[in-house]
Homo-oligomer: A and B are copies of this chain.
């Protein structure tokens, strides 16, 4: 399956979610409206709403109910991006100026706060406290993850476990609950929603691992930005952690990382990139991503054989093979 076919199939519902997103960030403060709209129009694949819609196919599919979950999860994702851009000092995202760069850090902070609050007010319109609990707990974990990311900047001592917990909080959890809450909001059984959570968690982990591989191995053309932006910001990702386990590479890599940190990321990193690309770290990270994909697909086994199950499997394969 191509991802584009899946989007084509869901087009009507995704367009409706898109309109709802626009409607719900409308407010009477011009600056807040403009900054929120700028963020929304900067795009994104709306993959979290897609997970919600597919998850909801396992229950009674009612767009008027599940839209609250889909819109809310996308807003939470957007809010976290605005605040991330402040930390990463990012000028552009997806080729568009970030809120912090078009306006400033303070506007970005309050825009994030507003979108975040709005996400909660949208989801609480569904009178199901379990949904509210799952969502707010995930946001707590996400916010701890943000701080953990800062803590581990340029930290070469971090373990594989540190990395995995961080990407769980940063990426996988929100995808896991997107699948799960789609099912819960449509009244699917607890077993189904649990399977979908496990699927989403594993797909999310695979997605982030592959994203981190791409940042090291992709070309500027493929990535839309120069490779190695993670290490420039201090993010030590899994291929690097694996490469550091190679005794022959370790001391050279440590020196490179220290140098990049010393120059605050503003230095030539081609030696570092070459070293990582030639290491076994890439292959080991790819294997790790594949194992997550396998686990994601296995998690779907108990589910009824409806089209949405095939679509979920298709997404997992797509993420397993993604090269951009």
Which A residues are closer than 8 A to B by beta carbons?
27-32, 83, 86-87, 105-107, 109-114, 116-118, 120-121, 124-129, 132-133, 136-137, 139-140, 142-144, 146-148, 150-151
Contacts and interface: CB of A to CB of B under 8 A. Distances in A.
Contacts of A133: 121, 124-125
Contacts of A29: 144, 147-148, 151
A136 B126 CA distance: 13
A106 B121 CA distance: 26
B136 A106 contact: no
A137 B140 CA distance: 19
Contacts of A86: 106, 109
A32 B151 CA distance: 10
Contacts of A148: 29
Nearest to A140: B117
When all copies of this chain in the complex are counted, the total is 2
B124 A139 contact: no
Given A29-B147, A132-B132, A121 B109 contact: no
Contact of A144 (B32, B105, B106): B32
B83 A146 contact: no
B109 A109 contact: yes
By Cβ-Cβ distance, the 5 closest A-B pairs, closest first, are: A120-B136, A121-B136, A127-B129, A114-B143, A117-B139
Contacts of A128: 129
B127 A140 contact: no
Nearest to A141: B117
A27 B120 CA distance: 23
B31 A113 contact: no
28 contacts: A28-B144, A29-B147, A30-B151, A31-B150, A32-B144, A32-B147, A83-B109, A83-B110, A86-B106, A87-B106, A87-B110, A105-B105, A107-B147, A110-B146, A110-B147, A113-B116, A114-B143, A114-B146, A114-B147, A117-B140, A117-B142, A118-B140, A120-B139, A121-B133, A121-B139, A124-B136, A126-B129, A127-B129
